[in-house]
Amino acid sequence: MDSPSASPVLRIGDAVPDFEARSTTGPLAMRDYRGRWLVMFSHPADFTPVCTSEFVGFARAAERFAALDCALMALSVDSLYAHLAWARAIRDHFGVEVRFPIVEDPTLVIGRAYGMVAADARDASAVRTVFVIDPRGVIRAMSCYPVEIGRSVEEVLRTVAALQAADAGPGLAPEGWRPGDPLLEQPEPTLDSVFAAADPVGWFFRAKPQ
């Protein structure tokens, strides 16, 4: 596996480091995903209860992500063979096939490059991050969870859809926004806009025309 460029901290708006690695669907590279949206999510270890529930949820929602032209990629420190055995266990017990790639990262080189673990980390206990990456390879959203709490697949779907709608609008997605809901206008911070508004919040909080 080629080493990604070192990057101790990644933030929203940063370009993601490239890497090449083995996965359950064959060799892949981050650059292969340019031109479409990507959700990359990591987990501390295979055969763990919370991670298993998440993989079942993502696998069941795979077609909904595909409808948004959004690929899925998982990452774990475990070996490719462990990934394959875990995917088999999930299929046999839950009746769902994990067809998106699960990348192996046994040396933590990807986790470190993406800022998920410290440079001197000896295990993957902190590797539980979601990156929403746009077609240009830029991080548009990210979240980190503790090992005790499972992530919401519905919220990840909503985030991808909201980013796409905001880009196309352009506009702003309010709290609880769902596809089909109106976006908000970008405020115009001028005295003319403030004084012309019909009410005190009308200049900074108004829905975009449908």
pLDDT averaged over every residue in the chain: 91
- Known catalytic residues? 51
Beta bridge partners of 172: 184
Quick check: is 33 in a domain? yes
Q: What is the pLDDT of residue 119?
A: 64
Rounded Cα gap, residues 109 and 128, in angstroms: 15
Together in a domain, 206 and 129: no
Helix (H) or strand (E) holding 112: helix 109-113
Together in a domain, 105 and 208: no
Domain range for 110 is: 20-151
What pLDDT digit, counting tens, does each position of 18-76 carry?
999 999 999 999 999 999 999 999 988 899 999 999 999 999 999 999 999 999 999 98
What pLDDT digit, counting tens, does each position of 69-106 carry?
999 999 988 999 999 999 999 999 999 999 999 999 98
Q: pTM value? A: 0.90
pLDDT at 126 over 60: no
Together in a domain, 131 and 208: no
**Can you say whether the dihedral through the CA atoms of 47, 50, 51, 56 is positive or negative?**
positive
Together in a domain, 142 and 89: yes
